[in-house]
Structure 1
Amino acid sequence: MGVYDSTLTSKGQTTIPAEIREALNLKPGDKIRYVISGDRVYLRVKNGRLADLAGFLGRPPNDQSLGIEEVDDAIMDAVAEDDARIVREWRDGSK
């Protein structure tokens, strides 16, 4: 794990160190979310594309067709589980 410092300007701006930008594949215009947990702040990169979600849910059981509400529910469940995992990892310091 690397530790990197940055300075806050009088306008509340800072530069993300090059090593972090490279590790997270950050590009100009990418969205960054700040998550506060106790006395810690985490950055979450929001630069994914919709096409990256292809196959995210896997195949439906028994290759059955699902209605839009069932698909929406499955997506929300998967996103909630992933978000909970990420928060756990951040809290535990494992990532």
Structure 2
Amino acid sequence: MPLATLTGKGQITIPVSVRQALGLHAGDKLEFVLNENGEVICKPVVKRVDDVFGRLHKPGRKTVSVEAMDAAIRRKLQERAK
């Protein structure tokens, strides 16, 4: 069973076998859940598209078609190329 040691700053290094099993990479977030038996469950925080859907919506903002977005991107790329 993999072990980790707590530092004086309250940090641990997650063993490579655990990181690989959970598919963790630098910058990923973990959630710690303390159950009624005093055990801690550690699981990766995964964002689903449903969790972030609509975050960019601003009431009253004019909608833009995909074609208009593509045209704006092309214009900006052409401006930078000059």
TM-score range, shorter chain: 0.5 to 0.7
Residue 17 of structure 1 is matched in structure 2 by 15
Residue 43 of structure 1 is matched in structure 2 by 42
Q: Deviations over 1:67-94 (max 9, x none)?
A: xxxxxxxxxxxxxxxxxxxxxxxxxxxx
Q: Deviations over 1:27-48 (max 9, x none)?
A: 1111100000021000011134
Give unpaired runs (5+ residues) of structure 1: 54-95
Structure of greater Rg: 2
Residue 29 of structure 2 is matched in structure 1 by 31
Contact 1:26 1:47 in 2 (8 A): no
Q: CA RMSD in A?
A: 1.4
Q: What is the percent sequence identity of the aligned residues?
A: 39
- Normalized per residue, the structure richer in helix is 1
